[in-house]
Amino acid sequence: MRRLSVSTLLGWFLPSPITVLGASAESAVLLAPNLPMGDINVVVLTDVHSWVGGHDAKEPNLDADYGDVLSFYERLKAYCDLIKKDLFFVVNGDWIDGTGIATNGDPSFLIPLLEKMPWDAVNIGNHELYKREVIEYMTQPGGFVEWWGDRYLSSNIDLTSSMRPIGSQYHILQGHNSSVLTFGFLFNMKDNDAMVTVHEVATVVQQDWFRNTLLEEVYDAILVLAHMDVKDDLVQVIKDAIRLQVGANVPIQFVTGHTHHRSNYRPDSSSHSVEAGRYLDTVGFVSFPKASTLLSELANGNGNASDLFQHVFLDANVETLMKTLAVTLLQTANGHALSKFIARTRSELGLNNVIGCAAQSYFIDRSLDDENSLWRLFRDKLVPKGYSGDEVFLLGKGGWRYDVLQGNVTVDNVLAISPFNESLLVWKGVPSATIAKLVDTLNAFPDQAFLHDLPNYILAPARNFSAVNETYDLITDQFEVSLMQQQMGIIDQSTADITPVPMQPATTTTSVWIKFFQSENECHSNSHGAGNERPMEMPPSTGADAKSKQNDDETDHQFDNVRLVFVSVAVAAVFLFSIINVRQRDRRWRMVTEAKRQLTLQALRDYEDEEGQFV
């Protein structure tokens, strides 16, 4: 009977992210990528919001997960290395808040998955900066920021305690034939946690370090990761500040984000801004020239060299990624391992558990007049059926983040609707006239850049407040408290003495949806819905109930056999929990060598030959 150590098992569960197996030069020579390759090429992700597992089976056109994206990049990288083309891989912020893998702002399950991605530059988004707990987790010794080293960018964000940048103010990407000066900016965020200070972009680009970097470093082009809209005025501010120092003929490529759409824009003839979707619906690709190539084009009489800046938006679809590379097999060894890692994490967290069913699809971007509007479902059905007539909800339209699609509703589907899990607070006895004025005030200037068919704030249920002497219990979420206090104080000073208190029993923006789908199952005849869902609570931020079921290939078959043996012993749950804990907290697994992995595989082969038992 052979003993397998914990370190050996960790080598099996967590393969090295460094060795690119299945994406070698031999296989790369067969590639013929259908991409507009240029001097400098970049694969782009932005605003993924923890959708690392991709979308579920109800969206088959978006079936790629991070393992598939990693495989795509590795195969393309092997091809570029073979022909000496420069290829880089970047992510432009907002990696948290979106699915159950990062519930309640807890990044401990998500970050080990992100650290498997070989990004050359990582920018900060606003969602990383709302909660102190997230910032502390990212910046702890040996944590996420340190993992990326000088590839983690924060050109205008400091830790308030030291007034020093969280990451690097800039980084130079070094390729086969080019050097790319890279910055990472965030828009002028105002509602971040006090642990960080976000400096205004216009101020930062006037600082000595920015000017000196542009003048003293040696580079062929400039890449700006900018977590802001593709056409944000701040894009022009950054571009103008760069042009002031380096002139009109240095190529500038902006990778933008934040506003969750696909778009591109040309600030001038020698620059380009590209925004590549959200929620892993898009794998972006941009190419742009070196300064020498741009100058050569201009010298040859091409006064407008904008065609040297190219972009492609690829659906995050396995078949699309395969066709783009002209391959019949997408996944590499590393990509397959990451897909498995994601699937196990999702299973451990119970994200696939069915809690109800939707008879039709509901969408966050539909107007309140549309019967397929998610906000209409909330306003006209969830609130009236679940709460008393004396209670009214007033929530911002950004509170719900994704659609509900027809069919079974899982834990993760609910968390995709409402990933923030904000506490709901009650303002007791607010006059109806005050609420009416509050709604009018908050909706006076509609935000047309985001969910433009909806008002800024939605009142649920809908009321006209014809009886002026009525009072209601006004319910808002924790995020909106300061705004509500400010506006109500202006509208009606008598409300200044009303202090919001937590709903009883304690209720959150996520739990209201869980309660609704558990009690209002719309598909009673669906054998996989009403009969099989079970009561649930919010997924815990730590711990796991390992129920992983994998059946892909011979490797997976070995893994399943090992798991079955574990289940047969009384300490299985404790042991697996310890593995999960190590995977989350202990960074030492990164140092596992290729020799260790081979030893693990051999040990597992020997184990299977002996048909023994783990002890």
Which of 400-414, 469-483, 575-589 has the least mean pLDDT? Answer: 575-589
Per-state percent for the chain, helix, strand, coil, to nearest 5: 40, 20, 45
Do 281 and 415 fall within a single domain? no
* pLDDT of residue 580 exceeding 70: no
| Boundary (domain end) residue, out of 298, 313, 347 | 347
CA distance 44 to 33: 16
Say if 532 falls within a structural domain: no
- Pairing outcome for strands 310-315 and 282-288: antiparallel
Say if 577 falls within a structural domain: yes
Q: Are 297 and 269 in contact (CB under 8 A)?
A: no
Mean pLDDT value across residues 525-540: 41
Give 524's pLDDT tier (boundaries 50, 70, 90).
low
Q: What is the CATH number of the domain that holds 444?
A: 3.90.780.10
- Pairing outcome for strands 282-288 and 40-45: antiparallel
Give 609's pLDDT tier (boundaries 50, 70, 90).
very low
Do 400 and 413 fall within a single domain? yes
Better-scored residue on pLDDT, 582 or 63? 63
Which of 42-46, 459-463, 521-525 has the least mean pLDDT? Answer: 521-525
Say if 535 falls within a structural domain: no
Say if 382 falls within a structural domain: yes
Residues 6+ away with beta carbon under 8 Å from 403: 361, 362, 363, 364, 374
Of 290, 294, 235, 241, nearest to 267 by C-alpha is 235
Do 201 and 97 fall within a single domain? yes
Q: Are 89 and 119 in contact (CB under 8 A)?
A: yes
Say what the pLDDT of residue 28 is: 55
Do 228 and 87 fall within a single domain? yes
Do 471 and 582 fall within a single domain? no
Domain count across the chain:
3
Say if 127 falls within a structural domain: yes
CA distance 558 to 553: 9
CA distance 49 to 371: 27
Identify residue 516 by its one-letter amino acid code.
Answer: F
Rounded to the nearest integer, the mean pLDDT of the chain is 83
Of 179, 5, 153, nearest to 91 by C-alpha is 153
User: What SS3 state is found at 69?
Assistant: helix
Better-scored residue on pLDDT, 537 or 604? 537
* Ramachandran assignment for 89, one of left (phi > 0), alpha (psi -120 to 50 degrees), beta (any other): beta
Say what the pLDDT of residue 15 is: 38
Do 335 and 394 fall within a single domain? no
Of 216, 235, 223, nearest to 291 by C-alpha is 223
- Pairing outcome for strands 196-198 and 86-91: unpaired
- Pairing outcome for strands 157-159 and 407-410: unpaired
Say if 529 falls within a structural domain: no
Which of 152-161, 292-301, 576-585 has the least mean pLDDT? Answer: 576-585
Do 243 and 388 fall within a single domain? no
Of 266, 285, 206, nearest to 46 by C-alpha is 285
Q: Are 308 and 38 in contact (CB under 8 A)?
A: yes
Is the CA virtual torsion 412, 418, 420, 425 positive or negative?
A: negative
- Pairing outcome for strands 471-477 and 391-396: parallel
Do 372 and 507 fall within a single domain? yes
Say what the pLDDT of residue 20 is: 38
Do 429 and 287 fall within a single domain? no
Do 261 and 133 fall within a single domain? yes
Give 301's pLDDT tier (boundaries 50, 70, 90).
confident
* pLDDT of residue 568 exceeding 60: no
| Boundary (domain end) residue, out of 298, 322, 347 | 347
Per-residue HEC secondary structure of 451-503 comes to: CCCCCCEEEECCCCCCCCCCEEEEEEEHHHHHHHHHHHHHHCHHHHHCCCEEC
Say if 163 falls within a structural domain: yes
Mean pLDDT value across residues 331-341: 97
Burial label, 110 (beta-carbon count in 10 A; 0-12, 13-18, 19+) = buried
Percentage of the chain modeled with pLDDT above 70: 79
User: What SS3 state is found at 407?
Assistant: strand
pLDDT tens digits for range 255-283: 999 999 999 999 999 999 999 999 999 99
Burial label, 371 (beta-carbon count in 10 A; 0-12, 13-18, 19+) = exposed
* pLDDT of residue 597 exceeding 50: no
Per-residue HEC secondary structure of 283-339 comes to: EEEEEECCHHHHHHHHHCCCCCCHHHCEEEEEECCHHHHHHHHCCCCCCCHHHHHHH
Say what the pLDDT of residue 605 is: 37
Is the CA virtual torsion 257, 261, 262, 265 positive or negative?
A: negative
Q: What is the span of the domain harbouring residue 119?
A: 17-347
| Boundary (domain end) residue, out of 324, 347, 370 | 347
The tokens for 450 are 């985001």
Do 247 and 99 fall within a single domain? yes
* Ramachandran assignment for 465, one of left (phi > 0), alpha (psi -120 to 50 degrees), beta (any other): left
Helix spans in 55-167 (H): 66-83, 111-114, 132-139, 144-148
Q: What is the CATH number of the domain that holds 200?
A: 3.60.21.10
Say what the pLDDT of residue 466 is: 65
Length of the chain: 615
Do 279 and 333 fall within a single domain? yes
The tokens for 185 are 């900016």
Say if 391 falls within a structural domain: yes
Say what the pLDDT of residue 319 is: 97
CA distance 329 to 208: 50
